[in-house]
Structure 1
């Protein structure tokens, strides 16, 4: 281009209409939801579902479905919003190899552009059923998600291996399910088998809601213990030695059923199956169902019974959910299928009161002793009495946490806050118990609330929903009080001061000493950590890496962050004992603790200004009279 032509082009641009010179500003393309709303009507026909779960070497579930259909548009859904997860945690990323056919001819499908768990297709005229095949690819390493299949164990969650038609409540879709497991394996589920062939089991026809609520554990090594005529403890392990338990340990699990039935006064199952994986290979889990629970503990659960005390409240917690969470469920959390978003505003009841009763039932049953129960409670009290995040974030907002973070690790948990509705909720219900006892002059307690709220409609295992007002009304039926005002103040308001009233009114106080409780030491051993939360404000893992740093604590002020490696302490190579010795030596002096640390490839010296020594929480008795907190935890 010549200079004259270039100059002409520049002049033309400069004199162009003003509209041409403005930036482009599009309008959004409309989002049209073409997925049918669910209706409370019966799906015409029964889905046939077959799952081949025999490829344990590669962790692959192979799925085949036959679904009755009529000609025209059809939307198939993969479960996304899962009960018990309180969040859209469906494993759609693990679905692969999807093919849909009818009469041997392929039917094209298109994934919805907005809801990636939905698939659109058009059923050709004259087709009465379609065949669906796909694989569910279990994680083979923790980085891929939870491992649900190993060469010796598997956890079949039906929501991972089914597509279902949109437009119907899950309870109105019937499913005829079967599964094939490795030969010689034992399996357990709340479903009762109708036929058994070599390696294959056919289950009774149930609605989709019940099917998803009835997962399966299967394994090479298993032990079955009947805890009561209605309740079974199904144990699965990586190896036979992990299944060895003393008669006293089994008796404590049996007593859990006794104590729960005394507490609630009614059952909300026709039979119940604890599905307990004792494994260091299968992904850990604690997930409630109406007639069962998926539970996972470390491989030394029975082998080192005293040292695994931190896991002994898992079964009491999940068992309590049969009453609280499954039978009684928050109205805004209940959904008709697995696509409707859940609203978690009452998780401080659903999970908080389950945490409360789970810990109490752990002691009442003998799964933990009183010292360990108080040790566990001391940790909760210490956590919330020092939690800086309470200064800005109310408890009710943490009920959104599973949706917000989906349990991804956070860097500053003490400031950001996590799922605090569990254990802070526990403290609130402890305080409620103390108030009930005071207002009733010792004649009533939270046990009376449990019977009134959960112990109704014996053997009903449907869902009875509730609201905040229902909770307040039931409490007022136990003892009149401004329960609505009390609960709103504890749950909805920013509250820098922890709700320790239940502990203090119950005859105890939170204290810190330089000697850890047995419960604390057991927790450090199980997690392979050094927990200096209440001294240096940090937790060190087995590789000398900081796994937690408390916001505004001494380590924080020294510039330390999660992921930093400690190389040396006061000039000596790092060891757990050396670090604790340095904390002890600095107590009462003006000498700070010096650390050599490594972040990525950079080394630096840091000074941690802490001279308060080692600090571990425990509960100490106050006064000499009877303790209502002891009375609450005592067996009935």
Structure 2
């Protein structure tokens, strides 16, 4: 919108007013203060910050926080972490912090919030005060409507960045913390932190820097089990499970064998271990919110409670642990330069997420298959679903690129989108995985099947065994490593896919397979739909619908349902004159294909009820993969265990 021109007479009046005595002029706002950039990057904060979190108030779902911060007299700014690693955006839940009180020598100190940076609390430390006592409450969601639930009557997920303030203009790894956690009676906890002592339900962990503390969350619960996934290893790996009930902790030997194989397959892929120990923090719950968040020596993973006890039905969840484990190498040890920030106030740059997340998405699928968490057919079925998404359901690539979607965590903050297929939403994950399939196939072709993306993974993410200092990278580093595996113009190859306005589907055919459609979904697709309680007509009439309430959960932009005027959020009331059921819609789509009447739907959106005809006669379509005769089957080698 253009700014309207100011009439000359008003401009003159304003100028005269500013020249008259006694008439105050508006002052320009003060420039924003940079509270993030360290004044002296190597300077350590003097002393250690004691942090105690009381997590016993599970009825109200509140973490009660106490800190003792060594200080010197003078101005001080304390920060609440804003830019959270792994979330790729300014996601610190500052709105849930309440009851902040700061005292020096027992006396309350006045603090003010920086209006230009609401995560910053400013105060003056009086003479004679060597330590501040800080108290506040972290009010976690009491329902899903308020955000992800992190505390229930039986378990909790503590992320240290939500329960700590830290001094401004210091690097996070130069600030020392001594953390203590108080749990409800009898609860057990899993974390990458080293437990120094436990007295009753008070757990005292070893002193660490703030970067390590933030990177070491806790899962704790009443029903807890710890499984050794690499018995006798010098760098142990454990699965720390909390569940809604004891029965969900039961796992068969075959199930645990696949998880142990995941660890070994990752080691064979990367050829190194960048941790002294690793903990999969794993919640099996429909009460605490699900999660998948990477850390260097642990990961936060949350799925439905029947992961083990309803194994076949939960097949679609089994690439979560592989994905997050890969992040220990890709994203934590090796990290894009724009994400390797000195603390949690310096803004992040996300443009290499197609490597950080896209290649991790690729390896997550591959390692799920190599370890036996997925069958080969499961992995192929998932790849078919990903390919179909970009063959059919992402017309937004006409105006955006995969590279541009790397900014989505900051643009959209992971809020729901009304037209995802047109707007796009973090497509660097799955479209990025397809790009890396193309790279893998090309490496195999160039080397006459002797080299592959496995060699890139070992060269780029491996080495320095036993070390876990962050090693940043940029686009040129990626290209140089690929050229070391097989000489080629990799810069052009990559840019032609991540910057293009077309789906990156060429890797599938280069691997010897192509996308095909059948009138029934694969067993994997059926299990996925049952798990998500969906009916999926995306590849046919262009919509998906929730089974529990018949609400349309997605509509393909420019698809048949879109052309008929159906939008996300509408309720399907009837199909060809009968109350909606998925089987009736299946039959109506088949009848239209056979020359019968078009599918007629009665839909309700808000207060409007209307009848629409969907102009579509190509039948039910569900994605599958089929072999291309005469082409080398590279997918078979990609998915084969090392």
Per the TM superposition, whether the score is higher than 0.5 is yes
Matched, 1:153 2:155: yes
Aligned to 2:146: 144
Structure 2, unpaired ranges of 5+: 1-8, 18-24
Cα offset for 1:597?
1.1
Matched, 1:562 2:564: no
Matched, 1:452 2:454: no
Cα offset for 1:624?
5.7
**Aligned residue among 531, 535, 555 for 2:536:** 531
CA distance change for structure 1 residues 17 and 621 in 2, over 3 Å: closer, same or farther? closer
Equivalent pair of 2:180/2:204 in contact (CA under 8 Å):
yes
Aligned to 2:479: 472
Structure 2: how far apart are the matches of 1:46 and 1:124? 20
Structure 2: how far apart are the matches of 1:412 and 1:625? 37
Equivalent pair of 2:37/2:346 in contact (CA under 8 Å):
no
Cα offset for 1:491?
1.1
Equivalent pair of 1:76/1:119 in contact (CA under 8 Å):
yes
Question: Once the two structures are superposed, what CA deviation does each residue of 1:556-578 show, in whole Å capped at 9, x if it has no partner?
Answer: 00101111001111100111211
Aligned to 1:601: 607
Cα offset for 1:143?
1.0
Structure 1: how far apart are the matches of 2:26 and 2:66? 44
CA distance change for structure 1 residues 109 and 580 in 2, over 3 Å: closer, same or farther? same
Aligned to 1:122: 124
Equivalent pair of 1:276/1:295 in contact (CA under 8 Å):
yes
Question: Once the two structures are superposed, what CA deviation does each residue of 1:370-428 show, in whole Å capped at 9, x if it has no partner?
Answer: 11100000001011112201111011110000101111000000000001001111011
78-87 vs 503-512, greater mean Cα deviation:
503-512
Q: Alignment partner of 2:415: what SS? A: coil
5 Å-filtered alignment, 1:59-458, equals 59-228=61-230, 229=233, 230-386=236-392, 387-458=394-465
Equivalent pair of 1:591/1:611 in contact (CA under 8 Å):
no
Structure 2: how far apart are the matches of 1:283 and 1:521? 24
Aligned to 1:592: 598
CA distance change for structure 1 residues 57 and 480 in 2, over 3 Å: closer, same or farther? same
CA distance change for structure 1 residues 322 and 457 in 2, over 3 Å: closer, same or farther? same
Matched, 1:463 2:467: no
**Aligned residue among 9, 12, 16 for 1:19:** 12
State the TM-score, normalizing by the size of structure 2.
Answer: 0.95
Q: Alignment partner of 2:323: what SS? A: helix
Structure 1: how far apart are the matches of 2:624 and 2:377? 10
Q: Alignment partner of 2:314: what SS? A: helix
Cα offset for 1:591?
1.8
Q: Alignment partner of 1:427: what SS? A: helix
101-110 vs 598-607, greater mean Cα deviation:
598-607
Q: Alignment partner of 1:555: what SS? A: helix
Question: Once the two structures are superposed, what CA deviation does each residue of 1:33-69 show, in whole Å capped at 9, x if it has no partner?
Answer: 1637313211111000000001111100000000000
Provide the aligned C-alpha RMSD in A: 1.6
Q: Alignment partner of 1:188: what SS? A: strand
Structure 1: how far apart are the matches of 2:69 and 2:81? 16
Equivalent pair of 1:331/1:466 in contact (CA under 8 Å):
yes
Structure 2: how far apart are the matches of 1:483 and 1:339? 34
Cα offset for 1:590?
5.5
CA distance change for structure 1 residues 26 and 589 in 2, over 3 Å: closer, same or farther? farther
Structure 2: how far apart are the matches of 1:17 and 1:305? 74
CA distance change for structure 1 residues 226 and 18 in 2, over 3 Å: closer, same or farther? closer
